[in-house]
Amino acid sequence: MAQTSPSAPSVAVLCGLGGWVPPRIVDNAELSARLDTTDAWITERTGIHHRRHIEPEQATSDLAVEAGRRAVRSAGGAPPDAVLVATTTPDRPCPATAPVVAARLGLAGVPAFDVAAVCTGFLYALATASGLLATGAARRVLVIGADAYSTIVDPEDRTNAVIFGDGAGAVLLRSGSPEELGALGPFDLGSDGTGEDLITVRAGGSRQRSAGDDGPPAGPERFFEMHGRAVYRHAVVRMSGSARAVLDAADWKSDTVAHVVPHQANLRILRSVVEHLGLPEERLVTNIRDLGNTGAASVPLALCDAAAEGRLTPGDGVLLTAFGGGLTWGSCLLRWPALPPTVRPATPADPQTPRPGTPGTPTPKEQHP
């Protein structure tokens, strides 16, 4: 009997891309008018000129639905059979936001859950989706990074209000072979919980509630806190170290990396990361000037902008890397696939998908044992 070779392992392959940011632009002049700062100070320290904020009554799910719809459309329209949403700003503490997003996309009934790794969330979600695909638990997974930081940052906080913006980016992954363009991997993920207080929102969790301290509705502990100098040091060391780990694992040399797409934390941090990697700055992909730091959405939004600009060519080596609260960090590699033309994230949204419970909303299919 002829022997057959074992089938190649299944990996996640990027086959769709989409992103969306809300239309409201908040520029440095607007912030300077109410905060003790200037456009020059903000630009010098962060590299940010504009950021987007959601309108009243909007939420993270509204951003995620539009980005997810665009990613599915980019991949040809075949529906995913799992949805992951990486976010630090869920619509509610309970339940997760992903099932709401899935239902509004007409995917009620599929497994859907949130991934909480702050600004590294999108990388963690990519790795998690890769596991679902590798085990056969799913064939197509929609991975969304979405955050509305304007809802958790104190608008009077001169340090943080100038940095963060709102938005969502998404990719559709399918099962494929490691040799295909768009195949993800290897991955490197890490965490260090001893740094939990460096990036945090203290209020609302079990630790505060079990202490009997509900706090005032507008108390300072309900807002986002970040210790900038310490975070800067950790971000550069962790992102560059994680990036080196995946480059070594794949045996990629510096000239193999055509593009570095990092979490859009701060322009000075991003420049330091590519410098530590010994790469020229022109390989850095950044849209922080116009969108600010959009948390878990920042990596896929940067991919969307770069793809829409025609900067990403099929076969290009792409390095993704991120750092966030937790502390968490992660990186992965891919060869850029051939995708349909990408819609810029700032393109106006499609008509709003009805929210669950409103007329026209797809209802979940009955599940029978």
Q: Which residues are catalytic?
A: 119, 263, 293
Give the chain's length: 369
Closest among 126, 78, 129, 139 to 105, alpha carbons compared: 78
Half-sphere exposure of 132 (CA within 13 A, CB side): 25
Cβ–Cβ contacts within 10 Å for residue 116, how many? 18
At 281, list the tokens. Answer: 């700055």
Closest among 317, 336, 308, 298 to 149, alpha carbons compared: 298
| Phi, psi dihedral angles at 217 (to 5 degrees) | -55, -30
Find tokens 């909007």 and name the residue.
Answer: 58
How far is residue 68's CA from residue 82's CA, in Å, rounded to a whole number? 12
CB 68 within 8 A of CB 15: no
Closest among 227, 191, 231 to 326, alpha carbons compared: 191
Amino acid occupying residue 276: H
Closest among 175, 188, 144 to 319, alpha carbons compared: 188
Find tokens 């995917």 and name the residue.
Answer: 107
Q: Look at strands 11-20 and 224-226 and give their pairing.
A: unpaired
